[in-house]
Amino acid sequence: MKLLKIGGNQLEDAGFLSELAGALAAEKTPLAIVHGGGRAIAALQQQLGIEPAHVEGLRVTDAESLAVAEMVLCGQINKRIVAALLAAGVDALGLSGVDRGLLRCRRKVHPSAELGYVGEIVEVRALVVHELQRAGVTLVIAPISLGRDGQRYNVNADEAAGALAAALPAEQLLFLSDVPGVLQNGAPLPRLTETEALALIESGVVQAGMVTKVRAAVSAIENGVAQARIVDLPGLHSGAGTTIAADGARAPARETTIDAEAVIAAEARFIVPTYSRPPRVFTRGVGAYLFDAGGKRYLDFTAGIAVTALGHSDPEWAAAVSQQAGKLAHVSNLYHTAAHVHLARRLVEHSFAERVFFSNSGSEANEAALKFARKWARFLNDTGEKTGIVAFEGGFHGRTAGALAATARAQYRDPFEPLLPGVTFAPFNDLSAAEAAINGNTCAVIVEPVQGEGGVHPAAVEFLQGLRELCDEQQALLIFDEVQCGLGRCGRLWAHQAAGVTPDMMTLAKPLAGGLPIGATLVTEAVAQVMEPGDHGSTFAAGPLACRAAQVVFDRVARPEFMDSVRATGKHLCERLQALQPEKLLAVRGAGLLVGAEFSQPVRPLIEAAADRGLLLISAGENVLRLCPPLVISMEQVDAAIEIIADCLPALSPDGSEHR
Ligand SMILES: Cc1ncc(COP(=O)(O)O)c(C=O)c1O
């Protein structure tokens, strides 16, 4: 798709519009149009005795000027463009950014001037454009946008075009101007990298209205648009004008030195083959998007298997990590450091727990919990018989020897038997089976409040409550493995809060440090008291780098409004999935933003088709699509993902085979 921005100046010329419409009628690639209208707004302001004022190219917009801008942009210019397109045979529809919430903005703040009702785009509902484009309609968009306060704002049309191009995403962003490109000594510069384009602004070569175009072009390119071109009407179809494209310095993902095929070939030669990966090499991430070595953008609904809760390269997180790396990264657990204490305090103050043991992964957090349980039981009853561990079918607790022993799936366990003895498996969500399995020799029961890998199955409230009672009766410790479902993933800080019961231990890992390795075993004082110096440890655990990163994640995720938004986007995701109603979709389940969609057949072909379309998904078992995007995913990004899933459903073959 192409996004075309038409400047306001040319629109005053009657011949221009019919010529443009004729040219666009011949266009093969689907198109969306954003238009300006500056000159006409200024003219009407003058007629009405309003003095136009500008700050750095932005129109200062009081209530009267906003009314004028809306009248001119939405009422006159938008309709004029639509009429010209229709006359040329293009099926066009005009709307403003307010309609269907297409463009959402916040009030733009300037350090030294009051801009009034000037907005900057924070969200784009790309779905609106896609839906109409599928129906063969070309949208013509006036850049009036809706603020979260319900107020309408005037948005610079270049900025609106850049944001829309990135969100669609468009392959090309075209600025149609009354000048033939970025001029130097009167002639257009044919090609610029992002860095060169920004340098021309710094040096003053790019000035006035061209500045917002160049900035919008660079921002769109940084967010995945392949290229932007600034051109006049005569140059539109001749490839003239100035093309701005990515360069290595600003966009490392698209460095030509990264040869994806060579990386994949070298991996096959040097890496132990424990994974079978699709043929993509990722080099960069921004928010909910990942970019591969070719610069292709993907909406990431995997979040590194429920890890990158704040999205990729969150600015606050990245700044904290790099500052800490420049200060102190590692000293080992031989010495005191501060970051792990600050993190432990936060975890304790927000949970049932009284102390924390840090490690480096979910498996290690569970390993620690199982060791703690064995020691606790020995302390309680030193006959050496209270060593039993009860775990559940469909559960997943990790790949290290102890955690694997508590993981039921034969495929993971069989090649490595014998594992840690003493583990019994009971069916999940079956309280009477659990009652039969838990006895006086049980030292711990380990369960995920929402099973992740096993197919996204939430535990029933009565099941967790019953396990608590059984553990109390048999003097066993209850361990909640919240490695995947915890820390906000399920719409509450801890997934078990939905059941109103507390465990004796809880394990955390994946999202805790936002992408750096960490594990945590949260325990009651009674458990902590049986552990002595030398009982357990780790060289890397509790390092300042991971713990500083985790503080940033925790402080953001623990905010009530953050949890509200996870619940709201999760609900929207489930509703949109349920509304798909393809005959092969058996169930949609989960909590918050850990959602499983179970199909009647293997989902791998659907995952592959979606990746080709720029959406990354994973499974949880053969037939379950697992959706676990970054917790900061927006409603519009959910809509975009659903749209791709809907388009890719035919990839599920009628006979359920995996071949496409
Ligand atoms: C519930 C649960 N526990 C433990 C683990 C193991 O974590 P890690 O891969 O960090 O060792 C996982 C990983 O997927 C998990 O989902």
Per-residue pLDDT tens over the stretch 445-471: 999 999 999 999 999 999 999 999 999
Average pLDDT for the chain: 93
153/97 Cα distance (integer angstroms) = 10
Q: Residue 499: pLDDT band by 50, 70, 90 thresholds?
A: very high
Contact criterion met (CB below 8 Å) for 302 and 607: no
Rounded to the nearest whole angstrom, what is the distance from the C-alpha of residue 303 to the centroid of ligand 1?
14
Decide which of 658 and 531 is more confident.
531
Residue 251 scores a pLDDT above 70: no
Q: What is the pLDDT of residue 659?
A: 42
CA of 448 to the centre of ligand 1 (A): 10
CA of 397 to the centre of ligand 1 (A): 5
Better-predicted residue by pLDDT, 119 or 257: 119
The pLDDT tens digits for 303-326 are 999 999 999 988 889 989 999 999
93 pLDDT band, cuts 50/70/90, is very high
Q: If pLDDT is split at 50, 70 and 90, which confidence band does 81 have?
A: very high
pLDDT score of 257:
54
Specify which of 203-212, 214-223, 343-352 reaches the highest per-range mean pLDDT: 343-352
Closest ligand 1 atom to 510 CA: 10
pLDDT of 255 above 80: no
Per-residue pLDDT averaged across 68-93, rounded?
A: 96
State yes or no: pLDDT of 551 exceeds 90.
yes
Provide the residue type at 502 as one letter.
T
Domain range 329-558, CATH architecture: 3-Layer(aba) Sandwich (3.40)
The Cα 95–Cα 103 span in angstroms is 11
- Asked whether 479 and 503 are in contact (CB, 8 A), the reply is yes
Question: Which pLDDT belongs to residue 657?
Answer: 57
Judged against a pLDDT cut of 50, whether residue 254 lies above it is answered with: no
User: Could you confirm whether domain 282-312+561-651 is CATH 3.90.1150.10?
Assistant: yes
Span 506-534, average pLDDT: 98
Supply 289's token pair. 């998007």
Q: How far is the CA of 576 from the centre of ligand 1 (A)?
A: 28
Q: Tell me the C-alpha to C-alpha distance, in Å, between residue 316 and each of 552, 555, 556, 588.
A: 7, 11, 10, 34
Atom nearest to 362 CA in ligand 1: 7
pTM, two decimal places = 0.70
| Position 516 confidence tier, pLDDT thresholds 50, 70, 90 | very high
Query: What's the pLDDT band for 639 if we cut at 50, 70, 90?
Result: very high
Query: Does the pLDDT at position 12 exceed 90?
Result: no
Q: Are domains 2-245 and 282-312+561-651 of this chain identical in fold?
A: no
| Cα 546 to ligand 1 centroid, rounded to whole Å | 17
250 pLDDT higher than 60: no
Residue with the smallest CA separation from ligand 1 atom 3 is 397
- Domains of the chain by residue range: 2-245, 282-312+561-651, 329-558
Backbone angles phi, psi at 144, to 5 degrees: -95, 135
Q: Which atom of ligand 1 is nearest to the CA of 366?
A: 4
3-state secondary structure of 353: coil
Specify the pLDDT at position 252.
41
Q: How far is the CA of 404 from the centre of ligand 1 (A)?
A: 10
Q: Ligand 1: which residues within 6 Å by Cβ? A: 305, 361-363, 366, 396-398, 448, 452-453, 481, 483-484, 509
Over residues 472-485, the pLDDT tens digits come to: 999 999 999 999 99
Distance between Cα 521 and ligand 1 center (Å): 13
Whole-number pLDDT of residue 296: 85
Whole-number Å distance, alpha carbon 363 to ligand 1 midpoint, is 6
3-state DSSP call for residue 543? coil
The yes-or-no verdict on residue 298 having pLDDT over 90 is: yes
34 φ/ψ angles, rounded to the nearest 5 degrees: -115, 140
Does the pLDDT at position 20 exceed 70? yes
Q: What percent of the chain has pLDDT over 90?
A: 78
- pLDDT, residue 543, reads 98
CA distance 356 to 347: 8
Which residue has its alpha carbon closest to ligand 1 atom 8? 362
Closest CA to 599 of 618, 583, 621, 584: 584
Residue 98 makes CB contacts below 8 A (sequence gap 6+) with 144, 145, 146, 152
318's enclosing H/E stretch is helix 315-325
pLDDT computed for residue 515 by the predictor: 98
**Ligand 1 atom closest to Cα of residue 451:** 1
Give the list of residues 6+ apart from residue 607 with CB closer than 8 angstroms, or none: 617, 618, 619, 625
CA distances from 21 to 74, 87, 88, 308 (A): 19, 8, 6, 45
Mutate which of 275, 359, 363 for ligand 1? The one with the most ligand atoms within 8 Å of its CB, which is 363
Question: Helix, strand, coil shares of the chain as percentages rounded to 5?
Answer: 40, 20, 40
Instruction: Tokens 């749209």: give the residue.
Output: 643
For tokens 């500045």, what's the residue? Answer: 211
How far is 268 from 286, CA to CA, in rounded Å? 28
- Region 394-413: mean pLDDT is 97
More confident residue, 246 or 384: 384
Cβ(422)–Cβ(391) under 8 Å? no
Q: Which residues contact 617 (CB under 8 A, 6 or more apart)?
A: 301, 302, 603, 606, 607, 610, 611, 625, 626, 627, 645
Q: How many helices (H) and strands (E) does the chain have?
A: 22, 33
Q: In the predicted model, is pLDDT for residue 58 greater than 90? A: no
Predicted local confidence at residue 208, as pLDDT: 83
- More confident: 425 or 295: 425
| Distance (Å) from CA 550 to ligand 1 centroid | 17
Residue to mutate, 412, 450, 483, ligand 1, most ligand atoms under 8 Å from C-beta: 483
Q: Which atom of ligand 1 is nearest to the CA of 482?
A: 1
Residue with tokens 């829309």: 164
Look at ligand 1, atom 7, and give the residue with the nearest C-alpha.
Answer: 362
Architecture of domain 2-245: 3-Layer(aba) Sandwich (3.40)
Range in 285-299, 335-349, 575-589, 643-657 with the lowest mean pLDDT: 643-657
